[in-house]
Amino acid sequence: MSLTARQQEVYDFIINHLEQTGLPPTRAQIVSHFRFASPNAAQCHLKALEKHGVIELLSGTARGIRPTSPTLRAPASTQLPIIGRVSAGRPILAVEHQEALMAVEPGHFSPKPHFLLKVQGDSMVQAGILDGDLLVVHKTPEARTGQIVVARIDDEITVKELSRKGRRIELLPHNPRYKPMVIQPSHEFAIEGLGVGVIRSFSDGPTPPR
C-alpha cells in the first residue's frame, strides 16, 4: 500500500530536515511546519509511516524518528568548495577563491555545512582550530555570542569567537598572544558563517586532499 499525499509530505519533511541539519525533526517542528491542530495529528501520520515501514519510532526522545532506509541513515557525501585566500570586495564563495572540492558527509555536522575555509594563523589554537586546518562552515549572516564565526572586517576574513555586549561587538581569539578585536563604527563588518567542525590533514603539510 502506497503513502497518501500528506504522508509523503511528512516523510519528505523528515528526510529534508535530516539532510539539512543531520537530525530528525521534533514532533513540535512537524506540527509547526504543517500547521496541524494538535501534536496528535503529527503522531498519527508518524504512526502511519511506521506502519508502512519507512520509519521507526523510538520511545523516550523528542527526535525519536529513524528512517529505515540505510541510505537515509547515512547521507551520501557532497562536494564542498575549499576556500583559500579571499580577495578584497569579492563574495567569499566567488569562484576564484575556490581552490578545490572535498567530499564531506553533511550529516556529520549541524547545521548543514556549505564550504570549507583554509585556516591561516594560530589565533584559535585553544579552540582546537590550527593553522592549515579546514574549518567546516555553515553560511549565515546571523550568529550568537559564544559562537565561532567567520567574519569579514573591511577587506579581511577572520575566524574568531563572537561576543556582543549591547552595541559593542568583539571578536575573541583563543590564544593569549592575541588581543580581542573590537569592531568600530567605521568598520565594514559582516558575519559570513558559523564554524561547525574542523577537518585536519595529518600529512606533512597543510595542503588538503584534492
Q: Strands, DSSP E only, in the chain?
A: 55-57, 65-67, 78-83, 98-104, 115-118, 134-139, 148-153, 156-165, 168-172, 181-182, 189-199
Is 110 a known active-site residue?
A: no
Is 112 a known active-site residue?
A: no
All cell numbers assigned to 180:
580581542
Q: What is the per-residue burial (b if ≥16 Cβ within 10 Å, else e) of 31-58?
A: beeeebeeeebbeebbebbeeeebbeee
Distance between CA atoms of 65 and 50, rounded to whole angstroms? 9
> In Å, what is the CA distance from 36 to each residue of 3, 17, 30, 39, 43?
18, 18, 8, 7, 10
All cell numbers assigned to 62:
523528542
The residue annotated as part of the active site, out of 123, 186, 201, 203, is 123
All cell numbers assigned to 139:
553560511
The residue annotated as part of the active site, out of 160, 163, 179, 203, is 160
Q: Rounded to an integer, what is the distance from CA 107 to the centroid of its chain?
A: 9
Would you please indicate which residues are annotated as catalytic (active-site) residues? 123, 160
